[in-house]
Structure 1
Amino acid sequence: MQTRLVAYEALNAVQQQQVGALEVHPEQLPFCGDMYCALNTLLVNPSPGVKGFALLADERPVAFLLLKRPPCLPHWADEHSATLHALQVDRQQQGRGFGKACLQALPAAAIQAWPQIKALELSVDTDNVAAMGLYLGAGWVDSGEAYQGRVGYERRLRWVFGRCGVGLL
């Protein structure tokens, strides 16, 4: 199966509709939100500081994520970074490696979108064991800092560019 991470605006109308229909398991909603909120963030008040990406598997969307840059960065992020938000793999597609595929393709997509960035950052709830395992397994580095988030305590993870080509993945 061929996968590729594609900017939302490059999707055709059918693929955009399919992205809107992606759903996660109900217990994942507190951590990643739903597609309505993610697309609302991307489309209602468009900003050059927010970009959406869909992971296509054989040209069909199976996952979605947002990247943010100033002026849309969260308070905890470094101004020279882009932050990862709302990573959602469709519940019918989970367990097939699509989250990992998103993370593998993300550094190149982020650099193409914003060549000036030095790192990627994310914040993940410490109770979201599956996500923590995914990110740490893909080479993201825990900053060692935790803070009170929306749901519980969150950890900040970082991906630094330039150590091995585009990224470490």
Structure 2
Amino acid sequence: METRLVPYETLSLVQKQQLNTLQVHPEQLAYSGDIDCALNSLLVNPNPAAIKGFALLADEHPVAFLLLKRPPCLPHWADEHSATLHALQVDRQQQGRGFGKACLQALPAAALQAWPQIKGLELSVDADNVAAMTMYLSAGWVDSGEAYRGRIGYERRLSWVFDRPL
């Protein structure tokens, strides 16, 4: 099965309709939100310099979605020279097939194509979200060692630094 991470705006009308049906497991909603919330965040702020959506296509069918943000949409804890990852969602019927990992593997190249000036990626993950922490750390993200009070509980900050000079 061929996968590729593509900007939301390049999706066909049919693919956008398919993406609108993406659902996560109910217990994941507190962490990632739902697709309506993620797409609303993207569409109410149609500034590609500040926020971009990406869909993971598996054989041209959307199976996952994520948001990347830059200033002025960066959260308070993020470095201004980075992009931050938000709302990573894999459709509940597609989970366990490596699509989350595929998103993370394709993300650095997609982020650099969108914003060549960035120095890295950052994310914040609830410390209790063991599955997400495991996935991020196994994909090469680095835990900063800092925890802060988030909306649910304590959150950890993780980063991905690009291996090339800017």
Tell me the TM-score range normalised by the shorter chain: over 0.9
Q: Give the CA deviation at 1:44.
A: 2.0
Q: Does 1:57 align with 2:58?
A: yes
Deviates more, 1:92-101 or 1:36-45: 36-45
Residue 6 (structure 1) aligns with: 6
TM norm structure 1 = 0.95
Q: Is the 8 A contact 2:45 2:51 kept in 1?
A: no
- Mapped to 2, the partners of 1:44 and 1:20 lie a distance apart of 16
Which segments of 5 or more consecutive residues in structure 2 lack a partner in the other structure? none
- Mapped to 2, the partners of 1:127 and 1:135 lie a distance apart of 14
Q: Does 1:153 align with 2:165?
A: no
Q: Give the CA deviation at 1:59.
A: 0.2
Matched pairs, number: 164
The share of aligned pairs that are identical, in percent, is: 80
Q: Give the CA deviation at 1:45.
A: 2.7
Which segments of 5 or more consecutive residues in structure 1 lack a partner in the other structure? none
Q: Does 1:77 align with 2:78?
A: yes
Please give the per-residue CA displacement for 1:7-58, whole angstroms capped at 9, x wherever unaligned: 0000000001111110000000000000010000001231230000000000
Q: Give the CA deviation at 1:89.
A: 0.1
RMSD of aligned alpha carbons: 1.0
- Mapped to 1, the partners of 2:9 and 2:50 lie a distance apart of 14
Residue 38 (structure 2) aligns with: 38
- Mapped to 1, the partners of 2:71 and 2:21 lie a distance apart of 29
Residue 117 of structure 2: SS of its match in structure 1?
coil
Q: Give the CA deviation at 1:133.
A: 0.2
TM norm structure 2 = 0.97
**Which runs of structure 1 show a deviation greater than 2 angstroms over 4 or more consecutive aligned residues?**
none
Residue 132 of structure 2: SS of its match in structure 1?
helix
- Mapped to 2, the partners of 1:97 and 1:45 lie a distance apart of 30
Residue 122 of structure 2: SS of its match in structure 1?
strand
